[in-house]
Amino acid sequence: MLFISKKKHSIILSLSLGVLFTLFANVADAARIKDLASVQGVRSNQLIGYGLVVGLPGTGEKSSKFTEQAFATMLRNFGINTEQGQALKIKNVAPVAITAELKPFTKRGQKIDITVSAIGEAKSLRGGQLLQSFLKGVDGEVYALAQGSLVVGGLGAEGADGSKVVINTPTVGRISNGAIVEREVASPFSQGDYITFNLYESDFSTSKILADTINNLVGPNTATMVDATSVKVLAPRNISQRVSYLATLENLEFEPARASAKIIVNSRTGTIVVGQDVRLLPTAITHGGISVTIGENADVTQPNPFAPGETAVVPNTTINITQEDSRMFKFDPGVSLNDLVRAVNEVGLAPGDLMAILEALKQAGALQGQLIII
């Protein structure tokens, strides 16, 4: 067991009373610890359940075995028995999957929002009412009970000839405060002698700066780097003092380290994001494009009047090939990729051409940075 000296305890307790908020207020590009890291053990939990939505205006489920079984089971719970093999009319009923997020420190009796999604052939959940359903965690235990009227943002309409119009998604709805929490999730926040900050983006430099920021404020050896993600911080054992202590620490501001040089290329949308530290080695680039256009035209041929034969459709294909002028760019050592992008834009090349240039630069070893294609 770790014992904290009286001197260290006095420093920690003084922080937990809410002092020393101004040391890092004027740091350029500074961010709060709470914006860059989370506290280990303080996390949400996902809940899921199955239920029935009733009261639909004929937009519910068609005949399906599992929906009939669930509907018949619900009726038996109320003392209503159905005949074996009896076909149930369930066009006003829809089976749904229910999902929710149980946030940390949510107490028994509090309410949470839920999302309800059709899992069968229901056309719309608009106007429906969710019957009482269990929401379970990954351990199989029931953590909440869900029930209520759905709010559906989507709309669908269908004509007799089969034509239809769908706006947004009518088979998914929300119920605000639609579930009551029946079981709490134990949190390790109050256990042990440390709290641990986990960075959202792993970086050794940022992890060190975070630890140094806390040590400069509280005292040496208060915060210790665990790895590129985690920083372990000595904390009071008393839960009230620990909450106040964390409230002070998470509002401290520090300047995170600059991220590694990266280029993110989205090949589907043509989006290119270039980091500020990307550099080019001495290089020369030439890029020429060939445009191939293929046109399909249908010609109609007809026989002469009173002549035997039938009207026919004859395809007529035309192919045009054009080659653009090649342009060469020459760059000196240490030139940023921003200069390359500016040069490419000046000659009017498309984002796809820039992607090709970036890939060629990476293959040639002239690009200092990671090229990530998604």
- Quick: pLDDT tens for 338-370: 666 666 666 566 667 777 777 777 777 777 778
> What is the end-to-end Cα distance of the chain in Å, rounded?
48
Residues 267 and 294 both lie in one domain: yes
Q: Which of 163, 169, 75 is nearest to 118 (CA)?
A: 169
Q: What number of residues does the chain have? A: 374
Q: Is 20 left (phi over 0), alpha (psi -120 to 50) or beta?
A: left
Q: Which residues contact 124 (CB under 8 A, 6 or more apart)?
A: 56, 59, 152, 154, 155, 156, 170, 171
Does residue 192 belong to any structural domain of this protein?
Answer: no
Helix ranges (H only) for the chain are 6-16, 33-36, 65-77, 204-218, 239-249, 337-346, 351-364
Does residue 133 belong to any structural domain of this protein?
Answer: yes
pLDDT at 160: 52
Does residue 190 belong to any structural domain of this protein?
Answer: no
Residues 151 and 175 both lie in one domain: yes
pLDDT at 285: 65
Structure tokens belonging to residue 252: 């401290």
pLDDT at 167: 67
In the 8-state DSSP scheme, what is residue 196? Answer: E
Residues 350 and 334 both lie in one domain: yes
Does residue 186 belong to any structural domain of this protein?
Answer: no
Q: Which 3 state secondary structure label does DSSP give 5?
A: coil
pLDDT at 315: 62
Q: Which of 285, 284, 294, 368 is nearest to 334 (CA)?
A: 368
Residue 232's DSSP bridge partners are: 196, 224
Residues of the chain with pLDDT under 70: 1-29, 63-64, 66, 78-80, 82-89, 154-167, 283-309, 311-351
Residues 147 and 127 both lie in one domain: yes
CA distance linking residue 216 with residue 234, whole number of Å? 14
Does residue 187 belong to any structural domain of this protein?
Answer: no
Domain count, the chain: 3
Q: Which residues contact 209 (CB under 8 A, 6 or more apart)?
A: 254, 255, 256, 257
Residues 124 and 158 both lie in one domain: yes
Q: Which residues contact 281 (CB under 8 A, 6 or more apart)?
A: 333, 365, 366, 367, 368
Residues 177 and 49 both lie in one domain: yes
What one-letter code names the amino acid at 34? K
Q: Which of 231, 216, 261 is nearest to 37 (CA)?
A: 231
pLDDT at 21: 34
Are the C-beta atoms of residues 96 and 118 closer than 8 Å to each other?
yes
Given the structure tokens 């140094």, which residue do they identify?
212
Q: Which 3 state secondary structure label does DSSP give 79?
A: coil
Residues 32 and 52 both lie in one domain: no
Given the structure tokens 């041929």, which residue do they identify?
301
Cβ count within 10 A of residue 68: 19
Q: Which 3 state secondary structure label does DSSP give 293?
A: strand
Residues 334 and 363 both lie in one domain: yes
Residues 85 and 132 both lie in one domain: yes
Structure tokens belonging to residue 275: 């980091």
Q: What percent of the chain has pLDDT over 90?
A: 22
Residues 54 and 140 both lie in one domain: yes
In sequence order, what DSSP letters do the residues of 262-277 get, joined into one string? EEEEETTTTEEEE-TT
Does residue 359 belong to any structural domain of this protein?
Answer: yes
Q: Which of 191, 185, 40, 44 is nearest to 107 (CA)?
A: 185
pLDDT at 22: 36
Residues 209 and 333 both lie in one domain: no
CA distance linking residue 281 with residue 330, whole number of Å? 11
pTM of the model: 0.65
Give residue 120's domain range: 45-181
CA distance linking residue 242 with residue 267, whole number of Å? 48
Are the C-beta atoms of residues 33 and 250 closer than 8 Å to each other?
yes
Dihedral (C-alpha) 327, 330, 334, 338: value to the nearest 10 degrees? -20
pLDDT at 197: 93
